[in-house]
Amino acid sequence: MTTRPLDAAPADRAADVHCASVAKTFADGTAALHEVDLHCPPGAITVLLGPSGCGKTTLLRCIAGLETPTSGSIHLGDHDVTHADPRSRGVAMVFQNYGLYPNKTVYGNIEYPLRMARVPKRERRDRVARVAKLLRIDHLLERQPAQLSGGQRQRVGIGRALVREPAVLLMDEPLSSLDAELRVSMRTEIRALQRKLGTTMVYVTHDQTEALGLADQLVVLREGRIEHSGDPEEIYGSPATTFVARFLGAMNLLDAQPLGLPPGTVGIRPEDLSLGEAPGALTLRGPVVDADLIGTERMVHFRCGRQTARIRMRAADPVPAEITAHAPTDRIHRFDTEGNRTGD
Ligand code: ATP
């Protein structure tokens, strides 16, 4: 069926993804995933975020069918696809390096999956044309990948995935080889495109800014397990563990006891510290040890006892030799000695 325009939201086609107790141990004994339970809602962007080696790509490859879980099951919509052939799943994947064929034109690259699926020539032509127009690369169809910019190559990679009209679109760090400015604009484009198409998307990144900017649902992975998942603002506002707090927004995490508090960890975001003292607030005081310029702001590192904390200051203000800073009690996060959030 090709009568439905590609840019109409195919809400009927977007499938949800269900991973139930998915574990993956590779042949060499590396346990990459442990009992992962994940639901990716239809028509939304789920972002898998975590440090290198935490299992993001392995989980995505299990959903795509490029890896088979050691145990557990994967459903796309109503279908159990745990052992299904990747081509029969209705998923498409965009890789980090785009994986374009260097000797094919842009047209040939986007058309290729349709050829493999034995789609008739005329329909192939129509579908490639629609996708190319949607991604604004219709003027580049005769070029070869080497004649394209990074951003254009990235669009071709996305086009080749979209042309299959997948129920689920999987993206593995698709922006990591682009420069900072292009990353930001492509991120906006990917989000707009996903909104327009209504496709279910699972997006892998280790970049917290990208994750917060894209996610409808954020899933933070650590050593093959889900550490915290849910609404990105909620996770940022109330991280479940010190790991999530450190990874998302680089929170100050200080041993509570030297600050005169019960054992555990105190978390304070650098932007929640203000200069000076205030009644009832937690005060930190000590000499400045370092300062990094970040655009119009500066991250100033200062000692408090044997620990170091960071405060955000305006770049225009002079860096003092010593900092006295306070955080209101409602901006203080408390974690127990195991690193789990307490006392909300
Ligand atoms: P990155 O951001 O660096 O890509 P990731 O979070 O995507 O990391 P994975 O690629 O999923 O992590 O890897 C998870 C773990 O599984 C790592 O320890 C990795 O070395 C291991 N691993 C991945 N593929 C294989 C394989 N084919 N054989 C053995 N171990 C593997």
DSSP letter for each residue of 54-102:
SSHHHHHHHHHTSS--SEEEEEETTEE-TTS-GGGTTEEEE-TTTT--T
pLDDT, one tens digit per residue, over 152-165 is 898 899 999 989 88
| Residue 141, pLDDT above cutoff 60 | yes
Q: Which pLDDT does position 1 carry in this prediction? A: 36
For residue 98, name the pLDDT band (cuts at 50, 70, 90). confident
What is the pLDDT, as a whole number, of residue 185?
Answer: 83
**What band does 176 get if pLDDT is binned at 50, 70 and 90?**
confident
Residue 23 to residue 36: CA distance in whole angstroms: 7
CA distance 104 to 90: 24
The rounded percent of the chain whose pLDDT value lies above 70 is: 96
**Averaged pLDDT of the chain:** 91
CB of 206 within 6 A of ligand 1: the answer is: yes
- C-beta of 186 in contact with ligand 1 (< 6 A): no
Q: Over the range 96-129, which residues count as b (16 or more CB within 10 Å of their CB) and which as e?
A: eebebeeeebbbbbbbbbbeeeebeeeebeebbe
| Among 165, 172, 241, 169, CA closest to 200 | 169
Ligand 1 atom with the smallest distance to the CA of 50 is 6
pLDDT of residue 175: 85
- For 169, counting Cβ atoms within 10 Å of its Cβ (0-12 exposed, 13-18 middle, 19+ buried), the class is buried
Task: Using the atom order of ligand 1, give the atom closest to the CA of residue 60.
Answer: 11
Residue with tokens 């910019």: 149
Pairing of strands 71-76, 45-49: unpaired
**Is any atom of ligand 1 closer than 6 Å to the C-beta of 61?**
no
pTM for the structure as a whole: 0.89
**DSSP-assigned states of every residue in 236-247:** HHS-SBHHHHHH
Q: Whose CA is nearest to atom 18 of ligand 1?
A: 53
Read off the pLDDT of each residue in 197-201 and give the average, rounded to a whole number.
Answer: 91
Q: Is the pLDDT of residue 167 over 70?
A: yes
Report helix, strand or coil for 261.
Answer: coil
Closest CA to 333 of 269, 260, 266, 247: 266
How many angstroms separate the alpha carbon of residue 50 from the centre of ligand 1? 12
What's the mean pLDDT in 5-15?
54
Q: What pLDDT, in 10s, does the model give residues 212-237?
A: 999 999 999 999 999 999 999 999 99
Q: What is the pLDDT of residue 208?
A: 92
Q: What's the confidence (pLDDT) of residue 4?
A: 41
**Residue type present at position 101:** Y
Mutate to test the pocket of ligand 1, among 34, 56, 206 (most ligand atoms within 8 A of CB): 56
Q: Which residue has the higher pLDDT, 187 or 29?
A: 29
Which one has a higher pLDDT value, 6 or 57? 57
Residue 217 in contact with ligand 1 by CB distance below 6 A: no
Residue 30 Cβ contacting ligand 1 at under 6 Å: yes
Task: Give mean pLDDT, residues 266-277.
Answer: 94
pLDDT at 344 (0 to 100): 57
pLDDT of residue 6: 43
Provide mean pLDDT across the span 8-17: 65
Answer whether residue 174 shows pLDDT above 90: no
Q: Measuring from atom 2 of ligand 1, which residue has the nearest CA?
A: 52
Residue nearest (by alpha carbon) to ligand 1 atom 16: 32
Tokens 């970040």 -> residue: 294
Is ligand 1 within 6 A of the CB of residue 54? yes
| pLDDT for res 3 | 38
Higher local confidence (pLDDT), 174 or 5: 174
Least confident of 242-246, 247-251, 281-285: 247-251
* pLDDT over 80 (residue 104): yes
Kindly report, residue by residue over 18-70, the tens digit of the pLDDT: 999 999 999 999 999 999 999 999 999 999 999 999 999 999 999 999 999 99
In whole angstroms, give the CA distance from residue 209 to residue 162.
25
What does the pLDDT average to over 278-306? 93
Which of 19, 22, 26 has most ligand 1 atoms within 8 Å of its beta carbon, as the pocket-test mutant?
26
pLDDT band at 12 (very low <50, low <70, confident <90, very high): low
Strand ranges of the sheet holding 307-314, from the earlier edge strand across to the other edge? 274-275, 322-327, 282-294, 297-304, 307-314
